[in-house]
Structure 1
Amino acid sequence: MSPALQIALLLASVAVLLGLMAVVRALSGVWGFSSEVQRKLVHIGTGLYALTLPWLFPDRWPIYGLLGLTVVVMLVLRRPGSRLGQTLHGVERQSYGDLLLALSVGLCLFLAGDRLYLYVLPIAVLTLSDAFAALAGKAYGSIHFTVEEGQKSVEGSAVFFAITLLISFVCLMLMTDLAPLNIIVLSLMVASFGAYVEALSWRGFDNMFLPLGLLIFLTVHAEDSLADLAALVVLFALSVLAFNRVAARIGLSKHAARVYVVAVFLLLAVTEVQNAIFPLLVLGAHAWCRKATPCTAKYPDLDIVAALALVSFGWLALGNATQWNAVSFYGLTTMSLMIGLCALALTPQSLAVRIAALMAIVAGALVLRAAIINVNPAPSNWNGPIWALSMISAVGMATIPSIYPSGFVRARVTKLTLLALAIPLLSYLYAIDISGLWT
């Protein structure tokens, strides 16, 4: 297929998406669809279309172009007064689901590579299981449990589990050479893990956590033995119980504690244990910071998990895209974020205490980073230890929040994350340019 034809198909795809939204909006006026039903109908239509993308486009670049254009369209439709936008944003809660859906489709397609079941299974689950679970819960839900932004139903979660189990069976049987017994066990685990993640969703973040979580789980564990899979089930169950026991002691809600379990589980699945230390310390530093200096965020514990997920998936995708290992720069980012949170947590203390404590924290963080670098294999340290940049980033993250704490009362996690990303991201892009990627 020629590039011109693929571009034409790309533009036609956007037109089809807008047409679908217009049709759903028109039908809602006739049949009285609720905002939730409208949103899920569009969700199903776009998800089913996304499943065809690897076969519809011979090359990958038009797909990424389509997803980028879709994000632009979604942002435009978010403007107040957009009638089409009400099809997506009419539900009574703030949601980023439409934007995260496009992001997840792109990341899943990119990370799956030639193993298309890693793309098809997560997107099919997100498209069908998620939508039907929401509609079933809305129509038939009678047993509810509380999450931060409302309630979920046991009936909806049961529907999600059943549909995901069927999707997983079909995908793994048709698209892999796994043994039948492994397929059964994996499908049960995929359905259970997926239902658990979906039950924790907030602000549409299940559109990111669900497909990428399933992709990571299958990438790491699809080839595991039955004994290893059984051990994984036990480990996950123990983690859930442990977090539930300590949640109240550190000021976490039960919902936030369960989200932390998923975040820790995925961190340990996607990276070596030593490279998960700083991300885990970020969660601990945030718990301290939230208690010492509260911010205006409605759900700060969930915000930090979302930020960690975006940073983790972003560095993973960037490293895969450039073929230059990004683990060291990811570690620098999370180290800097941890220091920034500690700096804010110390602001109620006297100046002398703050300076002494921050010096100790920065020194300890740099020593820990040195230990992690020594443990990591050589390909992870291709750019050296970058001590100068590490010290600049660490000192900057300790200083800026300390001098200007009032600037981090609103959108704290977003601001600290962007600040922590600045030096690692710029230095990474510069390093791969010097190493000849762009020349």
Structure 2
Amino acid sequence: MSFTLADGFKVALILAAIPLVMLAVGRLGKRFGWDAEVNRKLVHVATGCLALTFPLLFSNPLPVLILLAIAILFMFVIRSGLLGGLGSALHGVERQSYGEIYLALAIAVTFIRAEEHPMLYVLPILVITLSDTAAALVGTVYGRRRFPVEGGAKSIEGVVVFFIVTWLASLIVLVLMTSAAPLNLVLISMLIAAFCALVEVDSWRGLDNLFVPVGAFLLLSSHLDSSPLDLVFSTGVFLAFLVVLLLLAPTLKLSEQAARANAILLFLIISIVSLHNVILPTLTIVAYLAARTLRPCDSKRPDYDLLFVAAMVSLLWLFVGDAGGRSVISLFNLTFAGALVGFLAVAMHKYWRVLILPAMAAAGWVAWWAAQANMPYSRWFMPSVLEIAAALIVVVVLPLLRPEWFASRRSLRIFGLAMIVPSILFLRGVVLQ
């Protein structure tokens, strides 16, 4: 990767354009009495349009990463109020959202992952730029049939518009930028539109700006060359996850939105890796539910906390693997094995704690078996029995000794412990390679 003087000039121009756009939208909004949501979405569209030029402006990810790092810092400064009313175009809506931060992260992930295939970057960013804006504006102005979601409500009209715009955008981009067969184009565009619409509905606090483009990218990269039969099968797998979790939702005391979000997370994992690599994430969700039932925590939204942390950990390992040019699928599984036994340790009371030993043995065996099944991709890191044991022991000690420490921010703390040994092993592998 390189950063030239020309790259620096382009980065400076884009960084100068962002506050100018925000200032212009804010003033026009005051003059014409625009709704705060309209102001925010206009800035969103302008930012997305700037991001769509990145494949033309930059030949490698480094300038984009520098640009986005500065932009994220700028957004935090705006949130602090140090720049007066400049942030009114973004933060005038009455809900807590970090959408602009998540959008910057999505741009970084998709730009790096797209590599030599601009279409894999252009389509996801185009979807979140156009579809999200159209759905929000139509839902705000014309939405009549509303349904509750985390943090508010959304409209059926907005969801329909999101699906239609995404479908059309996908068709146009795929026709112009790929040579796929017509039937494949129709099936892929329909799958992307339906999936992204569902992700947008079930996201909260602006996370659709991250999950929609990343989800679209993963579907495209995994299924662009798939046969029509494979596409139909993938759709069936996703629907099966969705139906099963919705049926189990009342028993598990999950909201329908949380059940759908879990189905989305598991399907995305399968889209990236082989089916057997979803075993530990699924068992982790089960262990979390057991801990939530047997030892409730103080968090206001524990189910969404788990989804957020699990998704971010998955994306982190995906990003780290790409940056290092190595498969870290074994470290991904080892992390979820640690989280699994961590939640079980929180859930177990008194003499039931003796069951943590066979639970650790079972989780460790699954992590080892998955590493064997992932060969040759796991060749760079093949965990030994001692390394697996260390990763699990680090996670269970504190929950067993001080379960009260996990009464709040449980998922974040459990996964934080579960990341310790895998992170050390990754750094060791990088140094020794």
Partner Cα separation in structure 2 for residue 65 and residue 386 of structure 1? 38
SS, match of residue 419 in structure 2: helix
| Matched residue count | 431
Aligned to 1:227: 229
1:239–1:261 contact (8 Å) kept in structure 2: yes
SS at match of 2:298: coil
2:297 — aligned with what? 295
The DSSP-based 3-state class of the residue aligned with 2:85 is: coil
Which residues of structure 2 form unaligned runs of 5+?
none
User: Residue 408 of structure 1 aligns with which residue?
Assistant: 406
Match of 2:365 in 1: 367
Q: Where does residue 420 of structure 1 map in the other structure? A: 418
Structure 1's 222 and 315: CA in aligned 2 closer, same or farther, altered over 3 A?
same
Tell me the distance in 1 between the aligned counterparts of 2:46 and 2:185: 28
Q: How does 1:56-135 map to 2 (within 5 A)?
A: 56-80=57-81, 82-135=84-137
User: Against the structure 1 CA distance between its residues 191 and 379, is the aligned structure 2 distance closer, same or farther, given a 3 Å change threshold?
Assistant: closer
Contact kept in structure 1, 2:106 and 2:209, CA below 8 Å: yes
Deviations 1:242-297 (A, max 9, x none): 21111000110111111111111111111112222111111111111111222232
Cα offset, 1:2, TM superposition: 7.5
What residue in structure 1 maps to residue 274 of structure 2?
A: 272
Equivalent residue, structure 1, for 2:380? 382
Which residue number in structure 2 is paired with residue 396 of structure 1? 394
Which runs of structure 2 are paired with 1:187-266 in the superposition (5 Å)?
187-266=189-268
In structure 1, stretches of 5+ residues that fail to align are: none
Task: Answer yes or no: is the 8 Å Cα contact 1:328–1:381 preserved in 2.
Answer: no
AA in 2 matched with 1:384: M
Q: Deviations over 1:343-396 (max 9, x none)?
A: 1112xx11x321x12112112111222222222213313233233332222112
Q: Relative to structure 1, is the Cα distance of residues 363 and 238 closer, same or farther in structure 2, using a 3 angstrom cutoff?
A: closer
Closer, same or farther: CA 383–264 of 1 in aligned 2, 3 Å: closer
CA distance in 1, matches of 2:298, 2:94: 20
Give the Cα separation in 2 of the matches to 1:239 and 1:373: 24
- Equivalent pair of 1:324/1:432 in contact (CA under 8 Å): no
Aligned to 1:4: 5
Aligned to 2:45: 44
Do the aligned residues in 2 keep the contact of 1:79 with 1:85 (CA within 8 Å)? Answer: no
CA RMSD of aligned residues (A): 1.7
Q: CA deviation at 1:301?
A: 1.3
- Overall identity of the aligned pairs, in %: 35
Q: Which residue is equivalent to 1:175?
A: 177
- State the alpha-carbon separation in 2 of the partners of residues 240 and 322 from structure 1: 34
Give the whole-Å Cα distance in 1 for the aligned partners of 2:416 and 2:236. Answer: 37
CA distance, structure 1, for counterparts of residue 307 and residue 36 of structure 2: 28
Range that drifts further, 204-213 or 377-386: 377-386
**Could you say if the C-alpha distance between residues 367 and 232 of structure 1 is closer, same or farther in structure 2, counting changes exceeding 3 Å?**
closer
Alignment of 1:317-336 (within 5 A): 317-336=319-338
2:188 to 174, 186, 189: 186
- Paired with 1:369 and 1:303, the residues of 2 have a C-alpha distance of 24
- Larger displacement relative to structure 2 (51-60 or 251-260): 51-60
Q: CA deviation at 1:106?
A: 0.6
Q: Would you say 1:353 and 2:352 are equivalent positions?
A: yes
TM-superposed deviation, 1:137? 0.1
Q: TM-score, normalised by structure 2?
A: 0.95
Task: Tell whether the 8 Å contact from 1:122 to 1:212 is kept in structure 2 after alignment.
Answer: yes
Moved more, 63-72 or 388-397: 388-397
SS of alignment partner, residue 151 of structure 1: strand
